[in-house]
Amino acid sequence: MSEAPRSVLVVPVADAERLAGVCTLARVRAHVVPVAGAGCVLVPAGGGAVGPADAGRAAAKLSRLVQGADVVVLTAGADAVSAQGWRGGVRQQDPRAGLLLSSWPDDVQRLLLGRLDPAGVAGALEGGTGSRWRAAWRMARGRQQQG
């Protein structure tokens, strides 16, 4: 019996707290794990395998909310790792997974393969939980403080 495909999303956002708020707005439940050199890796909550179709829907939502960012879905199948690229809610040309993994820190691959517990990473947060209104208010307030 082969193992089900497992997917994670890589979002080029360094602020895990802000991305957790975006996940709440998009109703995407995931551990938001900051990985220096890659941004944040979203590991779907619940510990079960999440396939590329569900991950693609999450990437479409997030890529609409995170303006100008390329969201990458990495999927580990039985024999290979594949990648999907998303921008503005639209699937783009698929990047080469091997090239991405060779340029990103090893923690990205370890999270994808389930060899690193996302809850054990410093700065990791739970995204997609709580009030959508509160998440929107915090994000708007953060923008006002930056401006």
* Residues 129 and 21 sit within 8 Å (Cβ to Cβ): no
For residue 49, being part of any structural domain is answered with yes
pLDDT at 44 (0 to 100): 86
pLDDT band at 9; cut points 50, 70, 90 = very high
Please write the tens of the pLDDT for every residue from 101-121. 999 999 999 999 999 999 899
Please write the tens of the pLDDT for every residue from 10-25. 999 999 999 999 999 8
For residue 1, being part of any structural domain is answered with no
Containing 5, the helix (H) or strand (E) segment is none
pTM: 0.85
For residue 71, being part of any structural domain is answered with yes
Domain that holds residue 118: 6-146
Closest listed residue to residue 101, CA positions, set 52, 41, 56: 41
pLDDT above 90: percentage of residues in the chain: 63
pLDDT at 46 (0 to 100): 64
In the predicted model, is pLDDT for residue 49 greater than 60? no
Residue 49: phi and psi, rounded to 5, are -70, 135
Q: Structural domain tally of the chain?
A: 1
CB atoms within 10 A of CB 124: 21
